[in-house]
Structure 1
Amino acid sequence: MVDGKPISLGLWDTAGQEDYDRLRPLSYPQTDVFLLCFSLINPASFDNVRSKWYPEIDHHAPNIPIILVGTKLDLKEEYDRREDAEKNGDRHAFENASKEVKELKEKKRQRPIEFRDGLACAREIGAYKYLVCSALTQSNLKGVFDEAIR
């Protein structure tokens, strides 16, 4: 139920691998909205929004609304907490961090994607909305799908 109305939602998770580049657009006809997702802790994933995913969608389905979605909010929040602890003198802040958070920390000059950067990207590509969520904690997950339905 969204806004008091029962809704049926069908999702297509298209493969991101290059092997499927020619097949993926076949799933685009009759699409009502795209959830264009990237990982908040993977800068390459974010870069692909501009360099790969938006151009592909714009080419094959130019008038379909896009909601830009930053995923893995739980890991971004973990990174931010550990970064703050490290700045406050905790030399062991990243010792028992999750694998993805440790990997990001080890990559010098790479940082999680900040909300303002996601918002700027959403404006640049003409996305209808920019939202962040976590599938693990369910934080704002319902909000993403509710917005897609609206």
Structure 2
Amino acid sequence: MTAIIRKKLVVVGDGACGKTSLLIVFSKDQFSETYVPTVFDSFVSDIEVDGKEIELTLWDTAGQEDYDRLRTLSYPDTNVILMCFSIDSPDSLANIREKWIGEISHFCPGVPIILVGLKKDLRNDADLSQILQLLESGGKTLLRPT
């Protein structure tokens, strides 16, 4: 019998960018139209990768500044970071570079980061144009610490 592999995934990003909805849809296959700000929450999802069972603990964090100091308590023993922004909010993408890269580089050095754009259903062409400009101006350096 193969032992279950346990991995911790922490989701960060600005408040209201869609982090909680992403995790609820992934772990419970449900979507809520109601926004309730998260302080901390976690979900467990069992998945299979390459024939191996993985117990994935998904940590949902608060993006609001009021919780900056508290949020860091979720970082120890993290295996991967999902760094999220809202496609309908260019500011949330700008904050990836201005806030989130530095915080994660400090508290989770060497941990893999996956950049995730959320709320694609709410985007408009002007938002998308701004986001593409930000991505192009940052190029490959977007995810490098400043």
Could you state the TM-score of these two structures normalised by the residue count of structure 1?
A: 0.55
**1:38 aligned residue (85, 96, 119):** 85
Partner Cα separation in structure 2 for residue 119 and residue 32 of structure 1 = 29
Tell me: CA distance 1:126–1:57, structure 2 relative to 1, closer, same or farther (3 Å).
same
1:7-26 equivalence runs, <5 A: 7-26=54-73
Number of corresponding residues: 98
Unaligned runs of 5+ residues in structure 2 are 1-47
Q: Deviations over 1:32-57 (max 9, x none)?
A: 00000000110111111011111111
What's the secondary structure of 2:83's corresponding residue? strand
**1:60 aligned residue (100, 107, 127):** 107
Q: Deviations over 1:111-148 (max 9, x none)?
A: 45239828956643149xxxxxxxxxxxxxxxxxxxxx
Tell me: CA distance 1:14–1:54, structure 2 relative to 1, closer, same or farther (3 Å).
same
Tell me: CA distance 1:60–1:121, structure 2 relative to 1, closer, same or farther (3 Å).
farther
Partner Cα separation in structure 2 for residue 38 and residue 121 of structure 1 = 16
What's the secondary structure of 2:117's corresponding residue? strand
Identity over aligned pairs, percent: 52
Letter in 2 for 1:21: D
Could you state the TM-score of these two structures normalised by the residue count of structure 2?
A: 0.56
CA contact (8 A) 1:41 1:112 kept: no
Tell me: CA distance 1:50–1:59, structure 2 relative to 1, closer, same or farther (3 Å).
same
Tell me: CA distance 1:75–1:16, structure 2 relative to 1, closer, same or farther (3 Å).
same
In the other structure, the counterpart of 1:117 is 135
When the two chains are superposed, the root-mean-square deviation of aligned CA atoms in Å is 2.9
Partner Cα separation in structure 1 for residue 136 and residue 84 of structure 2 = 11
Partner Cα separation in structure 2 for residue 51 and residue 116 of structure 1 = 12
Q: Deviations over 1:74-119 (max 9, x none)?
A: 223xx24xx7xxxxxxxxxxxxxxxxxxxx6xxxxx8452398289
Question: Larger Rg: 1 or 2?
Answer: 1
Partner Cα separation in structure 2 for residue 18 and residue 4 of structure 1 = 41
Tell me: CA distance 1:119–1:29, structure 2 relative to 1, closer, same or farther (3 Å).
farther
